[in-house]
Amino acid sequence: MPDVDPRLLQGVSALEHGRSDLELLHRYYRGDHDTPYLPRNARSEYKKLAESATSAWLRLVVDAIVERMRLDGLRGRGDQAGDLEAWRILEANRMAAVQAQLYTESLKSGRAYVSVWPNPQKPATPVIRGESPLRVHVEREPADFTPVWAVKKWADGQVEHAYLYDWARIQRYVRDRGFGDWRRRDAIPNPMRRVPFVEFANDPDLLGQPQSELAPLLPIQERINATNLNMQLAMTYSAYRQRWVTGMAIPEDDDGNPVEPFNSAVDRLWVAERPDTKFGEFTESNLNNYVAVLDSLVRQLAAISQVPPHYLLGQMVNLSGDAIKAAEAGLVSKVRAKQLVLGEAWSRVLDLVSLAGGDVQTPCEPVWADPETRTEGQLVDALVKLGTPPISMPQEAVWERYGASPATIARWKRMQTEGTQRAVAAQTSGALTGARLPDGETEPVGEAA
């Protein structure tokens, strides 16, 4: 394959090598788990119980983190108009809504990507897209982790497409799906002179290697599924008292098959003619043991994932606001740590947006919604104290602490200015205070009817 760049083969190989692990994580997030262990010769009814024994706890772990991660705006070093323009570009690409999918993919798989490209139809609004790690591989510089080239691959019907990106150009390749050699197609210069992908990594280490939020929890999920199966088996076959009888002959039908001698019912008795016949019963299984094991496993899941136990167990009885805040402290700290890493990724996205033609004042700082749970009364009381002496925080800063995005703050300022202008105009025309009479004159008093 003389026409194929070795980097393309390396990138495609990396995508194929990691596909099985990523698909496993995706399946477990969706609740499509491997069935718990059963003996090879297990009956079909056991297999049906095993198929219904899985519980999608891992999805709740990811969703509990994602629901507290919301990008509300951007703040740069320039004026507010530049911040609003950056946010407009993100909203034009639906990234305000797609961001939840991006964070979910990052938590599930350990990484997700955002691509940026110039927009010929609307040069002021570059194209921004979320990208799956199943399709994109980015090779980075070992020293500082700077992207040096990337491969994006996908299938369209019976044809596979691949693009090789570097700082100089973008080269397209095609091949028959599943087999055959890659064939070089057209290439274009890279107008951005930069690899157009930004990695949104989850918990990267100092070597730049991220980790899936679900990977450490898979063994606990499998133990939960196995316990569910054992409990279902106990419920089906030994959760009720089974009776036994000895010292009597079992009757048979005309074909010699044994026939159950008694038809159990509330209003029926078991009677045997032989005096040495004995009746008894086996004690039913205690399902509380299984419930206790499940409770323990779910608490382990909560401790490792830092998701509050009441999220998973639903045990909220007479909890005060301080108790809920303490229970959620670990989750809030975890979310804030992720916001630091993902905030840096958003800043790099805006750098690419600027290179792609967007009028963005970089560097930009992301504005996140507050991940803590607070009542409206607590928040307003704290903000009133911050906005009055001796602190006297500026009004716009108080609005930011309230959680208002830059776009919302700009609208509030505009409404405030317009309201002031209307009040001044009304006062000037006498609409608010009434026309003033000359000195010495009074209004006429009407006669009583």
More confident residue, 443 or 318: 318
Report the C-alpha gap between 68 and 104 in whole angstroms: 12
Amino acid sitting at position 280 = G
How far are the Cα atoms of 333, 370, 371, 408 from residue 403, in angstroms, in the given order? 18, 7, 10, 10
Q: How far apart are the first and last CA of the chain?
A: 109
Nearest to 46 by CA among 35, 57, 55, 56: 35
Q: What is the pLDDT of residue 209?
A: 92
Q: Which position has the higher pLDDT, 370 or 39?
A: 370
Q: Residue 374 and residue 380: Cα distance in Å, rounded?
A: 10
How many angstroms separate the CA atoms of 125 and 105, rounded? 25
Q: Is pLDDT of 41 > 90?
A: no
What is the per-residue pLDDT across 261-318, written as a single tens digit (0 to 9) for each? Answer: 777 665 667 777 778 788 777 676 778 888 899 999 999 999 999 998 888 876 655 6
Whether pLDDT at 201 is above 70: yes
CB-based contact 61:217 (threshold 8 Å): yes
- Exposed, middle or buried: residue 135 (CB in 10 Å: 0-12, 13-18, 19+)? middle
Q: Specify the pLDDT at position 449.
A: 39
Strands 183-189 and 71-76: unpaired
What crossing angle do the helices spanning 95-109 and 80-92 adopt, rounded to 10°?
70
Structure tokens at 161: 């497409």
Q: What percent of the chain is helix, strand and coil (3-state, nearest 5)? A: 45, 15, 40
Confidence of residue 410 (pLDDT cuts 50, 70, 90): confident
Strands (E), 167-311: 169-176, 183-189, 197-201, 242-246, 278-282
Decide if pLDDT at 8 tops 60.
Answer: yes
Instruction: Give residue 433's pLDDT band: very low, low, confident or very high (50, 70, 90).
Output: low
Could you give the CA distance from residue 117 to residue 120 in angstroms, rounded to a whole number?
A: 9
Q: 321: Cβ–Cβ under 8 A, 6 or more apart, which residues?
A: 375, 378
Residue 340 dihedral angles phi and psi, to the nearest 5°: -65, -45
pLDDT at 398 > cutoff 70: yes
Name the nearest CA neighbour of 301 among 221, 184, 229, 226: 221
Helix (H, G, I), strand (E, B) or coil at 79: coil
Token readout for 58 is 């891992």
Q: Using pLDDT thresholds of 50, 70 and 90, give the confidence band for residue 177.
A: confident
| Closest of 265, 241, 240, 262 to residue 251, by C-alpha | 262
What is the band of 431 on the pLDDT scale with cuts at 50, 70, 90?
low
Beta bridge partners of 366: 74
Here the tokens at position 9 are 């083969």
Residue 311 CA, chain-centre distance (Å), reads: 15
Phi-psi region of 156 (alpha: psi -120 to 50; beta: other; left: phi over 0): beta
166 to 10, 112, 351: CA distances (angstroms): 14, 19, 17
For 12, the 3-state DSSP assignment is: helix
> What mean pLDDT value characterizes the chain?
84
The encoded tokens of residue 228 equal 């569910």
What percent of the chain has a predicted confidence (pLDDT) above 90? Answer: 44
pLDDT score for 49: 81
Do 217 and 303 touch, CB atoms closer than 8 A? no
